[in-house]
């Protein structure tokens, strides 16, 4: 075969979404670029009088606006029951007002969300990952059905951000994202220290194992463990905003900012700060720039920008969930991104951020010392981050951050590149006879780089949670807890398992490692491995691990294996039968039928 044809065969297929062939032939209007090229299908002449009647009723003020004003969708992932999302309706109203002051029409709508923190450890968590697809479906649907010319999205919680970006890649109209922002840091007067949502789950493990104590530095030592738990529960989340550490929400926001799809500073600006409101106002100027210069999402979603996303994730100690989301976003945009790219970037980027969950500080603290733009400046100057990528401002990433301060010498949140926490990234892609299709490990180096232990197998997360609640997981010897049938199909829904991982940390069970075909929360830390492919439900080797098998996890050799021969694995598989499906109707059944594996982003449209 001709080498050129071979190379073309190996390139990812250009995304093919619904085309809109009946756009106006003239590219300009009054000598300027036509900004209403999609909406004019409905608003020009009298081709769609019913549509125009509905638009007048919805608020179009006059004929001039009907014929000439572009339509911008303002899509918020708003709902009241979650602090990550509860303020997004008001942010969206600010955006809408600013757009209308630019002489454009703004249409505000919202899509659904699920609170990971509220559903964590329960059956509701099975609905979380699939919301990414519903969010993308919703925004694509409204944008295309209503002939919007541009789109501004306002996400807050974990799956929101990738869902919004996937939607943008699908409809590919001028778009930008406004991150809802991080929550303020909570504080416990009994523990005498800052706390956050992860503290709640770790305290749960300490509560069960009777190791929940307040410090002996003048605190009230008379408090019972129930009073301590109540204090944590009432003060961990002081208001609106996404969970405050380098968890999944902040991981995705910092990555997307580094890809050029938000205004500079969006990912580190606190949710309730005046600066966040100013960002919402500035977004109107930015979206108009995107429309005038025809800057579209798939112009920005390319291999270089995804490389930037991975660099920021490794440098800041981001969530394992970033892997499944980056793969999904890239596939949706037609960008060739694989697990091998994750490992390649991890091998070269130092881990430099002392941020929760493995560190002391929070995103609100990072904001005070310059925020994400200051970190970007550091990495651009070092040649680790590509400052020449284009962005939604019409400028390069380097130009966007040029006016931001450099990190001061006396700040302690971001370590010097010459003295990192770990010389390479914390995310490792593991393979072996336990995960031939790959697995994702989060190993910061604080817990070592290799773990060998005896397997104890649980067929569902709830079985492990029950054992932990009864105090049945001992402190010795080294043990690898296997949690299976929690993958995209087996869960169904690939739930996060922060309840178990945090309880183990809170109980100080340092002899424990966790391995699952499900996911772990961005707030998880310790020796954890998730996203095992193939998953148990489709007959992956994890389905035949037995109690007592010796499991090896190594970030040195990127290995995840069990001391079972190929012959024995084959014999066990011959005896294996897939468990009966737990869900046969409803949205999770549809998700199970459509979803692909985690090593390819757990997508539902990878046909």
Strand, coil or helix: what is 109?
A: strand
Pure H helices in 338-460: 339-348, 363-368, 371-381, 397-401
Strand intervals (E) in 50-203? 71-76, 105-110, 150-154, 175-177, 186-188, 193-195
- Which of 91, 82, 142 lies closest to 113, judged by CA? 82
Give the distance, in angstroms, between the CA of residue 491 and the centroid of all CA atoms in the same chain: 19
Is beta strand 186-188 parallel, antiparallel or unpaired with respect to 175-177? unpaired
**Nearest-angstrom CA–CA distance, 377 and 116:** 32
Beta-carbon contacts of residue 118 (< 8 Å; ≥ 6 apart): 81, 82, 124
Segment holding 458, helix H or strand E: strand 450-458
- Helical axes 197-208 vs 498-506, angle rounded to 10°: 60
Phi-psi sector, 431: left (phi>0), alpha (psi -120 to 50), beta: beta
Question: Residue 252: which region, alpha, beta or left (left: phi > 0; alpha: psi -120 to 50)?
Answer: alpha
- Residue 40 sits at φ, ψ, to 5 deg, of -65, -20
Q: Which of 76, 268, 305, 521 is catalytic?
A: 521
From the list 450, 461, 446, the residue with the least C-alpha distance to 494 is 461
Count of CB atoms situated within 10 Å of the CB of 123: 14
Instruction: Measure Cα distances from 120 to 273, 421, 500 in Å.
Output: 28, 29, 10
CA 102 to chain centre: 32
Burial class (CB in 10 A: 0-12, 13-18, 19+), 56: middle
Give the 3-state secondary structure of residue 72. strand
Query: How far apart (Å, rounded) are the C-alpha atoms in residues 109 and 143?
Result: 10
Scored b (16 or more CB within 10 A) or e, 306-322 reads bbbbbbbbbbbbbbbbb
521 is a catalytic site residue: yes
What is the three-class DSSP state of 438? coil
C-alpha to C-alpha distance for 477 and 382, rounded to whole angstroms = 44
Q: Give every CB contact of residue 367 below 8 A, 6+ residues apart in sequence.
A: 182, 268, 269, 270, 273
Q: How far is the C-alpha of 163 from the C-alpha of 155, rounded, in Å?
A: 9
Residue ranges of alpha helices (H) inside 152-235 are: 160-171, 197-208, 225-235
Q: Which runs of E-coded beta strand occur in 68-200?
A: 71-76, 105-110, 150-154, 175-177, 186-188, 193-195
Annotated catalytic residues are 521
């Amino acid at each position: 075969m001709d080498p050129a044809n071979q190379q073309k065969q190996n390139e990812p297929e250009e995304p093919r979404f619904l085309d809109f062939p009946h756009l106006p032939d003239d590219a300009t209007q009054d000598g300027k670029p036509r900004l209403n090229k999609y909406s004019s299908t409905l608003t020009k002449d009298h081709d769609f009088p019913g549509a125009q009647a509905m638009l007048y009723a919805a608020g179009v003020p006059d004929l001039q606006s009907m014929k000439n004003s572009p339509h911008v969708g303002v899509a918020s992932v708003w709902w009241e029951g979650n602090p990550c999302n509860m303020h997004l309706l008001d942010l969206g109203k600010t955006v809408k007002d600013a757009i209308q002051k630019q002489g454009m029409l703004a249409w505000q709508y919202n899509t659904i969300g699920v609170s990971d923190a509220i559903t964590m450890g329960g059956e509701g968590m099975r609905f979380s990952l699939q919301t990414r697809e519903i969010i993308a479906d919703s925004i694509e649907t409204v944008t295309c059905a209503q002939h919007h010319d541009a789109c501004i999205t306002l996400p807050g919680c974990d799956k929101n951000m990738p869902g919004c970006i996937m939607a943008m890649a699908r409809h590919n109209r001028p778009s930008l994202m406004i991150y809802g922002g991080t929550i303020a840091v909570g504080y416990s007067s009994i523990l005498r220290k800052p706390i956050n949502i992860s503290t709640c789950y770790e305290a749960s493990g300490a509560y069960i194992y009777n190791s929940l104590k307040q410090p002996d530095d003048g605190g009230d030592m008379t408090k019972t463990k129930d009073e301590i738990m109540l204090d944590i529960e009432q003060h961990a989340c002081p208001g609106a905003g996404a969970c405050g550490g380098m968890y999944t929400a902040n991981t995705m926001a910092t990555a997307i900012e580094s890809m050029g799809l938000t205004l500079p500073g969006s990912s580190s600006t606190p949710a309730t700060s005046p600066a966040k409101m100013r960002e919402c106002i500035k977004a109107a100027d930015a979206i108009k720039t995107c429309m005038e210069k025809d800057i579209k999402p798939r112009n920005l979603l390319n291999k270089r920008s995804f490389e930037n996303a991975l660099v920021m994730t490794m440098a800041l100690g981001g969530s394992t969930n970033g892997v499944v989301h980056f793969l999904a976003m890239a596939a949706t945009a037609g960008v060739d991104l694989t697990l091998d790219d994750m490992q390649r970037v991890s091998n070269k980027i130092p881990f430099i951020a002392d941020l929760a969950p493995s560190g002391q500080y929070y995103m609100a603290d990072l904001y005070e010392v310059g925020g994400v733009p200051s970190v970007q400046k550091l990495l651009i100057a070092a040649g680790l981050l590509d400052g020449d990528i284009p962005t939604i401002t019409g400028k390069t990433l380097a130009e966007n951050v040029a006016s931001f301060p450099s990190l001061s010498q006396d700040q302690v949140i971001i370590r010097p590149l010459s003295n990192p926490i770990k010389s390479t990234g914390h995310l490792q892609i593991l393979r072996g006879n336990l995960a031939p299709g790959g697995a994702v490990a989060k190993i910061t180096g604080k817990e070592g780089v290799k773990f060998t232990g005896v397997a104890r197998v649980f067929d569902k997360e709830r079985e492990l949670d029950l054992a932990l609640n009864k105090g049945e997981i001992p402190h010795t010897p080294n043990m690898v807890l296997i949690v299976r049938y929690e993958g995209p199909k087996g869960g169904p829904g690939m739930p996060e398992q922060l309840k178990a991982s945090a309880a183990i940390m809170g109980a100080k069970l340092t002899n424990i490692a966790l391995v699952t075909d499900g996911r772990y929360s961005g707030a998880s830390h310790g020796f954890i491995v998730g996203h095992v492919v193939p998953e148990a439900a489709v007959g992956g080797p994890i389905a035949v691990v037995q109690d007592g098998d010796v499991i090896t996890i190594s970030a040195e050799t990127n290995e995840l294996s069990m001391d079972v021969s190929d012959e024995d694995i084959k014999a066990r598989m011959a005896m294996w039968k897939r468990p009966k499906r737990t869900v046969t109707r409803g949205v999770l059944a549809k998700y199970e039928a459509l979803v692909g594996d985690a090593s390819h982003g757990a997508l539902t449209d990878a046909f």
